[in-house]
Amino acid sequence: MVNTELGKLHNTMCTQQFSAQQTFAMALGIHSPGFGHGAEIPPDPSVVSSSSWNMSSGAERDHFLRLDAPMNNITTTLGQTAELHCQVSGNPAPTVRWLKNDAPVVQEPRRISFRSTAYGSRLRIRNLDTTDTGYFQCVAINTYGTVSTTGILFVKFDPAPTPLPGRPSPPRPDGNGAHSGLTAIVAQPPSSYTEIPLSHMLAC
């Protein structure tokens, strides 16, 4: 009799324990009938989200944008070629824009061009004219930010040529812009002369 009652009590306790485990599993969204008998609990979603966020933050820490050297100023003369260099680096690779006096630089076939290089970008201007004088700026942009640097290009006229010793100087323009071709001639008195009587001159 006593053993029978103990058996019923044991079965009741086991049933209540299994029911409690099923209730806990349902609260976690687990509907496997094998829960409580070796079934595994899936990972906490918050842990997965945290790992993904850490990986994203690590990738963002690798992003950067840096100006490696300022742009240099250039002074040159008509007809020459000038190259301006924009030395920047970054991750991701930055996009570079060129400006002249705050306006975008317009490329011209066989005269004005710019292209990407290993160090950033290069602007080349051939057959320089005085109108090419100005402030040139390169602006580099990526997801990290923006950097810029400015240089001055000054195009001047050729200096007047210096005459070589022993050679005549080239004619210079007069006030009206025309070259004077006049040559000054200085008359010299005769080295000797013969006196002619006045009567002979009247007879003629």
Range of the domain at 21: 2-61
Q: Does 113 lie in the same domain as 43?
A: no
Q: Is the whole model's pTM more than 0.85, yes or no?
A: no
C-alpha angle 19/21/23, rounded to 5°? Answer: 70
Q: Does 124 lie in the same domain as 113?
A: yes
Long-range contacts of 58-64 (CB under 8 A, 24+ apart): 62/91, 63/90, 63/91, 63/92, 63/142, 63/143, 63/144, 64/90, 64/91, 64/144
Looking up residue 119, the CATH number of its domain turns out to be 2.60.40.10
* Range ranked top by mean pLDDT from 27-36, 52-61, 142-151, 152-161: 142-151
Q: Is the pLDDT of residue 183 over 50?
A: no
- Residue 26 domain-assigned? yes
- Residue 35 domain-assigned? yes
pLDDT digits (tens, 9 = 90+) for 82-99: 999 999 999 999 999 999
- Residue 175 domain-assigned? no
